[in-house]
Amino acid sequence: MTATISSRLFDWYNDHARDLPWRAPPGGSRPDPYRVWLSEVMLQQTTVAAVAPYFAKFTDVWPTVEALAAAPEEDVMAAWAGLGYYSRARNLVKCARTVAEMGGFPQAEAELKKLPGLGDYTAAAVAAIAFGERAVVVDANVERVVARLFAIEEPLPAARKAIRSRADEITPDNRAGDFAQAMMDLGATICTARDARCLLCPLHTECEARKSGDPLRLPVKAPKKAKPSRTGTAFWIERDGKVWLVTREGKGMLGGMRALPDDGWSARADGSEDAPVPGAWKAAGVVRHSFTHFDLELGIAQHADADPSPAGEGEWWPIDKMDEAGLPTLFAKAARLVLANRD
């Protein structure tokens, strides 16, 4: 069965591989490890469509791992703004500097795992795709394909051990990178979460979930817990055509990013008790944003003529260049709302 699966999958992948900027064609020379690593870090919990323009920007500004290693961290964080999960960007810089000091990426999966920010999946993906090492690569798409292929009934996340074991069984020794990417593509385009296009699937004759008549029920997912909600206030402090921005602490939510000052999302009604400067404040609207573990409702308190400057470190940023500030999505939403209401 293993040989049949890989053979049919390779035949399908040769004709249907997605054309992605970080990939090499099926059966071709191996891609640059830097581009594989960068794309895999960006793709964690993010869609291909969202990643593509960021990947193009990064590889244009920093075409090699050495160039990225030499970049100021604040520039990398600003370029990452809007992609989310900002700890990835901080680890990106750490990893680039480590790799540059080593003289290049290690090839072995075990050594790749030792690099900052590389977990089991990313290390396996880089080892297989960039270096041709046999590694078991299991992302969400592969997880779904394997769960259906072998009709694994155990609910996630407990099922992941069985899924990985089955994925190991069918991973061939040759063309490891192509196999991993073929499985990803199959899950992204044919065996999707909302649809199972079984008649187009190269593995449909082997698929136990298809034989059951209801492939969409797999993988079984545990019930989602309701997200808690939080509220807080951000402060728009303006003077002479500029707005006061701060750099958030390196650790924690949105760490290391430029942002509007805020109250730590402590649920003040109007922000007045936590205002960075005295004077007349007015409510400028509310923005809502969903993080992984909670939903946030952020009120915006606006001060139109702040003097003196707020206490603490910060910078006056030209309002007409807000799109160059590299604000994370939450604070970019807040800035757009204030500017839209003013216009």
Is residue 241 a contact partner of residue 320, using CB atoms and an 8 Å limit? Answer: yes
- Given the residues 40, 73, 143, 153, select the one marked as catalytic: 40
Is residue 37 a contact partner of residue 124, using CB atoms and an 8 Å limit? Answer: no
Helix (H, G, I), strand (E, B) or coil at 334: helix
Give the position of tokens 């939403």.
Answer: 333
| The Cα angle at residue 129 between residues 12 and 67, in degrees rounded to 5 | 135
The Cβ-side half-sphere exposure at 159, using a 13 Å CA radius, reads 22
Is residue 129 a contact partner of residue 30, using CB atoms and an 8 Å limit? Answer: yes
Query: What does the CA dihedral 128, 132, 136, 137 come to, rounded to 10 degrees?
Result: 30
Q: Is 3 left (phi over 0), alpha (psi -120 to 50) or beta?
A: alpha
Nearest to 77 by CA among 248, 220, 257: 257
Q: Please give the Cα distance from 101 to 70 (Å, whole number).
A: 11
Does 40 qualify as catalytic in the annotation?
A: yes
Instruction: Concatenate the DSSP letters of all residues of 148-202 into one string.
Output: HHTT--SPBTTTHHHHHHHHHHH--SSSHHHHHHHHHHHHHHTB-SS-B-GGG-T
Q: Is 196 left (phi over 0), alpha (psi -120 to 50) or beta?
A: beta
Active site residues: 40
